[in-house]
Structure 1
């Protein structure tokens, strides 16, 4: 069991090897991409053509933090900008009730 755990443990960056490198460009603005290294870096993304001809993307990337925790970030990038999501990113605090009431009154 220890041998299996040691073999599965992320290796230092300087020794990292590419495990997966898949790229599919369909030539029409759509694509698929997947990448993974032996030190725990992973990325996946899918591209589609947006309504105004822009490239829309959604995907995720992950990496191992120094404490061994795996950080995962998912995102969407489109005509509304880049929108990442992760428990590691700061979150908006809910508005207090008095602020919600003032906004409703102003509308």
Structure 2
């Protein structure tokens, strides 16, 4: 029994796809057009990056009220149709918040769900608990 299990294990390992590291000639290199960084030494910084394939990012950071890094910026990247996606973001003591037309948004609640929520809040206000 042990030999059968061992044989199956060896066969599975031998049949697994082999990974080959691509050579330097096989890789696509993207030229970096600009990479500017400023560090004020007190936790605040500025960063601008642009690559030849259209990827761009800029970010500004400062020390937050609770010692965290507060950041805000934008990044852009090309889409398959030739247009660019842009994401604006803020990261601070209130969390990470991003804005972009590509980010899905919540659907509005249907009227019956809103009515159920209102009814539950009414009952809660009257002291009804379940």
- Which TM-score bucket, shorter chain as reference? 0.7 to 0.9
- Report how far residue 98 of structure 1 moved: 3.7
Q: Give the distance between the partners of 1:67 and 1:86, measured in 2 at CA.
A: 17
Q: Give the distance between the partners of 2:45 and 2:77, measured in 1 at CA.
A: 23
Relative to its length, the structure with more strand (as a share) is 1
Q: Give the distance between the partners of 1:55 and 1:15, measured in 2 at CA.
A: 32
How large is the Cα RMSD of the aligned pairs?
Answer: 1.8
Match in the other structure for 2:89: 75
Q: Which of residues 25, 36, 46 is equivalent to 1:32?
A: 46
Q: Which runs of 5+ in 1 are unaligned?
A: 1-12
Task: Name segments (4+ residues, structure 1) moved above 4 Å.
Answer: none
- Report how far residue 50 of structure 1 moved: 0.9
Q: Aligned ranges for residues 1-107 of structure 1 at < 5 Å? A: 14-105=28-119, 106=121
Please report the TM-score for the alignment, with normalisation by the length of structure 1. 0.78
CA deviation map 1:40-66 (0-9, x unaligned): 010010101111111011111111011
Please report the TM-score for the alignment, with normalisation by the length of structure 2. 0.65
Aligned residues: 95
Q: Give the distance between the partners of 1:50 and 1:102, measured in 2 at CA.
A: 40
Q: Which runs of 5+ in 2 are unaligned?
A: 1-26, 123-130
Larger Rg: 2
